[in-house]
């Protein structure tokens, strides 16, 4: 059974074919969203270029909320509907997934080399797992293995209170807070967030600054404020990931995904991720139960779409 899978980001959309739960890597194509009117336009182009294969199911992952067969992207003016995908792909078996849910459905298919260890720990087969996405935004999804397949929870985990442990962190939260005085996790732990951490670190040093995440990560060796911003990011990520672990008890492991997760992973050890992850008072010992890894498979959302379709055949 050949299925059509797609991963729709804010800038690019990737499309591929899959056989059962297996993504066919040679079939992956990338499209710039700006060159297309909408997703059906992208899929029509893809299917024509692929020689109009017969499609028995289609699944698309998108970076935004999905409800009642409709999805909306945060940073792109496309409305994505299962009915429209059914029309262009010629199959009534169509599913839209939130991209974090798609990553959750991919966990059982990931090759060992797709995982970079961050913190060691036991990972019990069949236990709850947790996917934490850190990229344009921040979110988390608990993945439960049930008799009928995986169940992936929904959340807006990037919108909860940014943790504050000391006066410096409070000054950061107040710097990041909106008009109502509330600072959300995502204001710090996202690509944009790292830029704002740099602004905060620079202002503290009397130097005005405004830069993007890529520039901050490139300047760690030369710019003390960039280093301070990245260290603050990593240490906050430890605290937030630890809080999420206590909220979901993912004895099956924690999986960091997204561009910012990949960017900071090499620095997680030296910058103190473990220290803040495990600083939980009398529950500190429990934190050693949670293995943390970063997923570096760029096609994982596509794999998750294929896996979801294969499980629900």
Task: Show Cβ contacts of residue 190 under 8 Å, excluding neighbours closer than 6 positions.
Answer: 134, 135, 136, 137, 138, 158, 260
Quote the least distance from Cβ 71 to a copy of itself, whole Å.
16
* Contact indicator for 130, 250 with CB cutoff of 8 Å: yes
Number of amino acids touching a copy of itself (CB under 8 A): 47
Q: Which residues pair with 141 in a beta bridge?
A: 131
List 120, 214, 283, 313, residue binding a copy of itself (CB under 8 A): 283
Joined tokens for residue 28: 């992956």
Separation CA 74–CA 78 (nearest Å): 9
Q: At 208, give phi and psi (nearest 5°).
A: -70, 140
203 SS3 class: helix
Residue 56 or 249 having the CB closest to a copy of itself:
249
| Per CB under 8 A, 299 contacts a copy of itself | no
| Per CB under 8 A, 248 contacts a copy of itself | yes
Separation CA 20–CA 146 (nearest Å): 20
Quote the least distance from Cβ 181 to a copy of itself, whole Å.
6
| Residue closest to 304 by CA, chosen among 62, 12, 30, 44 | 62
Stretch that binds a copy of itself, among 39-47, 225-233, 261-269, 274-282 (CB under 8 A): 274-282
Strand duo 12-19 + 2-8: pairing: antiparallel
Q: At 4, give phi and psi (nearest 5°).
A: -105, 125
List 154, 192, 288, 311, residue binding a copy of itself (CB under 8 A): 154
Quote the least distance from Cβ 35 to a copy of itself, whole Å.
30
Quote the least distance from Cβ 184 to a copy of itself, whole Å.
5
| Per CB under 8 A, 164 contacts a copy of itself | yes
Joined tokens for residue 5: 């899978």
> How many whole angstroms from its chain centre is CA 21?
21
| Per CB under 8 A, 280 contacts a copy of itself | yes
Separation CA 263–CA 60 (nearest Å): 25
List 51, 125, 126, 148, residue binding a copy of itself (CB under 8 A): 148
Q: Which of residues 92-131 bind a copy of itself (CB under 8 A)?
A: 128
- Residue 210 region, left (φ>0) first, then alpha (ψ -120 to 50), else beta? beta
Handedness of CA 34, 297, 65, 55 (dihedral sign): positive
Strand duo 115-119 + 292-295: pairing: antiparallel
Quote the least distance from Cβ 177 to a copy of itself, whole Å.
8
Separation CA 86–CA 164 (nearest Å): 47
| Per CB under 8 A, 173 contacts a copy of itself | yes
Quote the least distance from Cβ 150 to a copy of itself, whole Å.
12
Residue 28 or 164 having the CB closest to a copy of itself:
164
| Per CB under 8 A, 281 contacts a copy of itself | yes
| Per CB under 8 A, 145 contacts a copy of itself | no
Quote the least distance from Cβ 238 to a copy of itself, whole Å.
11
List 24, 219, 286, 288, residue binding a copy of itself (CB under 8 A): 286
| Per CB under 8 A, 227 contacts a copy of itself | no
| Per CB under 8 A, 246 contacts a copy of itself | yes
Q: Which residues bind a copy of itself (CB under 8 A)?
A: 128, 140, 142, 144, 146-148, 151, 153-157, 159-161, 163-167, 169-170, 173, 177-178, 180-184, 187, 239, 242-244, 246-249, 279-284, 286
């Amino acid at each position: 059974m050949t299925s059509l899978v797609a991963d729709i980001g804010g800038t690019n959309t990737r499309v591929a074919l899959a056989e059962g739960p297996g993504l066919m890597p040679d079939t992956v194509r990338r499209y710039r969203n700006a060159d297309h009117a909408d997703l059906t336009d992208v899929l029509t182009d893809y299917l024509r270029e692929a020689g109009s294969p017969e499609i028995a199911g289609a699944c698309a992952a998108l970076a935004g909320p999905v409800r009642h067969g409709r999805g909306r992207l945060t940073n792109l003016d496309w409305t994505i509907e299962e009915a429209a995908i059914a029309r262009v792909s010629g199959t009534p078996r169509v599913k839209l997934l939130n991209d974090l849910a798609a990553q959750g459905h991919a966990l059982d298919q990931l090759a060992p080399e797709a995982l970079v260890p961050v913190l060691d720990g036991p990972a019990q087969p069949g236990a709850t797992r947790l996917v934490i996405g850190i990229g344009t935004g921040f979110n988390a999804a608990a993945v439960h293995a049930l008799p009928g397949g995986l169940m992936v929870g929904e959340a807006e985990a990037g919108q909860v209170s940014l943790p504050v442990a000391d006066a410096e962190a409070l000054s950061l939260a107040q710097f990041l807070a909106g008009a109502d005085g509330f600072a959300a996790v995502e204001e710090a732990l996202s690509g944009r967030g790292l830029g704002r951490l740099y602004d905060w670190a620079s202002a503290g040093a009397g130097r005005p600054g405004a830069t993007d995440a890529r520039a901050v990560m490139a300047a760690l060796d030369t710019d003390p404020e960039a280093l301070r911003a990245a260290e603050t990011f990593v240490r906050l990520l430890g605290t937030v990931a630890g809080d999420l672990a206590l909220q979901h008890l993912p004895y099956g492991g924690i999986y960091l995904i997204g561009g910012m997760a990949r960017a900071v992973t090499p620095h997680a050890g030296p910058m103190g991720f473990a220290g803040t992850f495990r600083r939980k008072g009398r529950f500190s010992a429990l934190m050693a139960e949670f293995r943390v890894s970063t997923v570096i498979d760029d096609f994982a959302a596509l794999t998750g779409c294929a896996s979801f379709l294969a499980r629900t055949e």
